[in-house]
Structure 1
């Protein structure tokens, strides 16, 4: 059936009044992006937001997000316990690395593909991968099997973590912040108190570390059932009409997608390897970083200048200043958080855990200052719906200042460290929910929501990995300087012969009482002096890292000046409506009336 320009204009009205656009332009967008399903919430049937399709979909998004986050957050704190049980293995770091790499790349691809082909089966597939991955991990006998399982979990999480577009398109614009707050409740449970849950399984149950994966199996299974039975967004035929799927398959940007995947993968892998698995100057690190960077540059040029019908990333998105600024603030905020995430666990273990050696759960509770703070800030930030741009400026600045102030903490200030960590994390979490939601609202054509926000999620991971690498390098280099500066003088002052200093460091690397007993001239007083000097050396190194975050947070503070004001866009418009199984149209008053009349 031919579509008139008038029909096209009416079908493509968005919250930015795109009906005023030139008809020929709208015809092109209609062909590429498909029909627009935006409606006012007043046009929806009574009880729509209390019906099973909507509530079941909301639950599916929440429990799947929790499972996707938990696939990493539950496992990361207890990797040493896992390695002690089914290891040891030199490949242990790949358990975490494979998850971060797959999700960083997958978010962008999932966002674009679901915009074009519909979201339902991609979300179902994400939970299938998550379920298979958790089963593999729960039954793993080797670290290599764990790596395989986490790879599947990461692939699944690429869809499960895509809540920023799956949930936001289902609710009115003015309730998007609250909807994201609901999702972050799941994040609070699975990430905020994830370390406590993980340690509880290890130290308080008979199933041990495998218990976290049994829990994730149940969450993935429930999420899979909810996706299948309740989540029916517009499918491909509803978006583009029947008989055109193969056309889209043929015209999709496979070359650009391959370059983007390989570029991201190699670049992030090189950064993750450097200083850990391989020295920074090794061919493994240099080659992967250089080749990955060149592929990403080539990808950008390819997307910009090639006449692509279905590009992976439409370049016109980057002409949307509000969207670009929001994604940048979202990414930089996450990178500031990563300074906490990298430094805080070692601060707890080195500076404060020795005083609580008899309580193995204390480390998990102390981790709540970081993860709990982030989650609490995300919940707090979900309520206000006015002056959003001013809030972003304020919370980003306050969080950055508190983070930098943590540089003043020493081994004698656990209360100050925990307080600053919680409050700083809270304001960064507040920034997280605001900037991510603003990014979704700034997408001028909501039919590209998955593409834009999927890219934003990958950008967040990309920037965070770069910043995390910078922080790790700074920390490693500073410790290499501060430990020789602090420890030997303290040992000698406590009475250790200078000729025994080298033996002390050998015993320290071994870490056992028997090794320390072989050090000539050692005594309990000297051991205590050495431990305290090591704590002071680490505190000095942490101080440098916290102060270095000012460089990144300073960029964010400047960008926040240009944060868009979206208060006037917080309307009752709903971007996507759900339909019942077998019903090929959106659920509206007209649709319900028509079906009853028939």
Structure 2
């Protein structure tokens, strides 16, 4: 029976019975053949290229702004277009690949990534860089399919292990990419203010290597229980749902990413974008519930309650994790270490924590075949780390910064493994990619909302605390308050030497002004962390409702790779769940 194509939704108890049957039918040995490793290698290199393409250009944003100061207002879209494309494309790309197969989607990914990186690397304006990054973003948004693809070619019990390797690669990019780019840029490799181009050159090289290695990726054919032709399957696809999802998410995310920067929150542009986007999202929900014969989000995904709980965790954890991670670098620069290269070193605890969290949680899940308790522990630690970050003060030592950031990084590593594992083991085999990419889209939407929320809270508090603190510092130094715009302008650019040109200014006064500026930022950041605590608590509460996964983490393999160099054995497929 095909869950995807039947109109009937079986009750959860039947699915659990099938899971128990799978635990007995799939207990054979799995052989890690050369074909398996070649397939995994191609997918891992593609994933690494995706992470590099998304993370590294954003880390160079400040220096791109220095290279093109007249276009600095548009430069945030170099990073912003990536999260926009990822959230929108993830809402439907999984189902397309579940229907039409995997291989050519990944070749498309590599071509987009290579072309986009080369365009951005040779750009002579911010607009061209954004154009190149748009092409690249389409590529890595499709390329993140690699997470469910590495999972489906190994036994369900081993999925946590292979997925943790993708998180390890993310940590490698965070450590090697960020710190390496900081060193390259600081030493003006390629010319003054030209070091940022190196990241794009390297990214293009990674995509070229991935394209070549993808020729060794040969997954089995996707199940087609009804034997439908390509045109018949295209006609059954929910094109109205894709249009409404794309339109609503694009409008909402553009509004959230532009509000407060490109145009004010109360402007007609923001209000119109968010209103039309919200109404379109409501129309999508109505269409999916009442109008779609074959919904964009298949109802068969929700037969097991763990998937719905997993989506809730994806969204809420996205708010907390994206929010906390996005402000770590500004906190370092404003409170702890103004030097760009040295500030990059302060990101190492978080990246190391992500790697450790992924590896440890993967091993525990593999050994115990349970995700509930590691999820609860991860949520609890995330709550603690956010609470400790609210206690930060200016000029704390590295040890004080190390504890909360490595804990928050560990939590992100835990959920990077758990969320895909939960999605892939409690949904029908023919919907593996669909289940994961919908979760990715939910997490991205939560992250966008979280970043806007805490940014607004920070800005509102900072506009109150900064004038108060600086006014007191100027009054104590016997200087007029009228100097505040000039002082704030110099401090915002790090040009404290310019303050010495002000009559009556001394090095002691500059020191007190810098301290007041840092204290104002610290007080404003504090409320930002307070706002994230309720989301952490909600994530913890959601994790408590997860059910046992012991009967689902079996030796069953969803997609057996094509044997080209070796003959595999013991690679079980579960019959009766839509597999050919």
Q: Counterpart of 1:64?
A: 46
Equivalent of 1:490, from 456, 473, 481? 473
Distance 2:571 2:130 in 1: 51
Q: Counterpart of 1:424?
A: 408
Deviations 1:396-441 (A, max 9, x none): 1122112211111111323312322112321332233223312221
Distance 1:517 1:320 in 2: 66
Deviation at 1:481, TM superposition (A): 1.0
Equivalent of 1:528, from 491, 494, 511? 511
Q: Counterpart of 1:379?
A: 359
Total equivalences in the alignment: 549
Distance 1:589 1:414 in 2: 54
Deviation at 1:320, TM superposition (A): 3.3
Matched-pair contact (CA < 8 Å) for 2:19–2:552: no
User: Which runs of 5 or more residues in structure 1 are unaligned?
Assistant: 1-13, 22-35, 592-598
Q: Counterpart of 1:278?
A: 263
Distance 1:451 1:203 in 2: 42
Distance 2:483 2:197 in 1: 44
Q: Counterpart of 2:552?
A: 569
Equivalent of 2:299, from 311, 315, 319? 315
- TM-score normalised over the length of structure 1: 0.86
Say whether residues 1:346 and 2:335 are aligned partners: no
Say whether residues 1:221 and 2:199 are aligned partners: no
Flag the 1:165–1:587 CA change in 2: closer, same or farther, 3 A. same
Say whether residues 1:197 and 2:180 are aligned partners: yes
Distance 2:143 2:527 in 1: 36
Q: Counterpart of 1:26?
A: none
Deviation at 1:496, TM superposition (A): 2.0
Distance 2:494 2:395 in 1: 23
Instruction: Identify the structure with bigger relative contact order (alpha carbons < 8 Å, sequence gap 6+).
Output: 2
Q: Counterpart of 2:577?
A: none
Distance 2:253 2:459 in 1: 19
Distance 1:590 1:508 in 2: 62
Distance 2:318 2:177 in 1: 18
Q: Counterpart of 2:160?
A: 177
Deviations 1:280-320 (A, max 9, x none): 01122111111111111111111111252x43212343453
Moved more, 467-476 or 200-209: 200-209
Say whether residues 1:258 and 2:236 are aligned partners: no
Supply the RMSD in Å over aligned alpha carbons: 2.8
- TM-score normalised over the length of structure 2: 0.88
Distance 1:319 1:39 in 2: 21
Distance 2:477 2:212 in 1: 65
Distance 1:85 1:19 in 2: 57
Q: Counterpart of 2:275?
A: 290
Matched-pair contact (CA < 8 Å) for 1:170–1:576: yes
Distance 2:545 2:394 in 1: 40
Say whether residues 1:393 and 2:376 are aligned partners: yes
Say whether residues 1:408 and 2:388 are aligned partners: no
Deviation at 1:566, TM superposition (A): 0.6
Secondary structure class of the residue paired with 1:574: coil
Flag the 1:130–1:41 CA change in 2: closer, same or farther, 3 A. farther
Secondary structure class of the residue paired with 2:163: helix
Flag the 1:401–1:506 CA change in 2: closer, same or farther, 3 A. closer
Matched-pair contact (CA < 8 Å) for 2:19–2:551: no
Distance 1:369 1:296 in 2: 39
Q: Counterpart of 1:152?
A: 135
Matched-pair contact (CA < 8 Å) for 1:392–1:435: no
Q: Counterpart of 1:110?
A: 93
Q: Counterpart of 1:560?
A: 543
Matched-pair contact (CA < 8 Å) for 1:497–1:521: no
Flag the 1:226–1:509 CA change in 2: closer, same or farther, 3 A. closer
Flag the 1:532–1:321 CA change in 2: closer, same or farther, 3 A. same
Flag the 1:20–1:541 CA change in 2: closer, same or farther, 3 A. closer
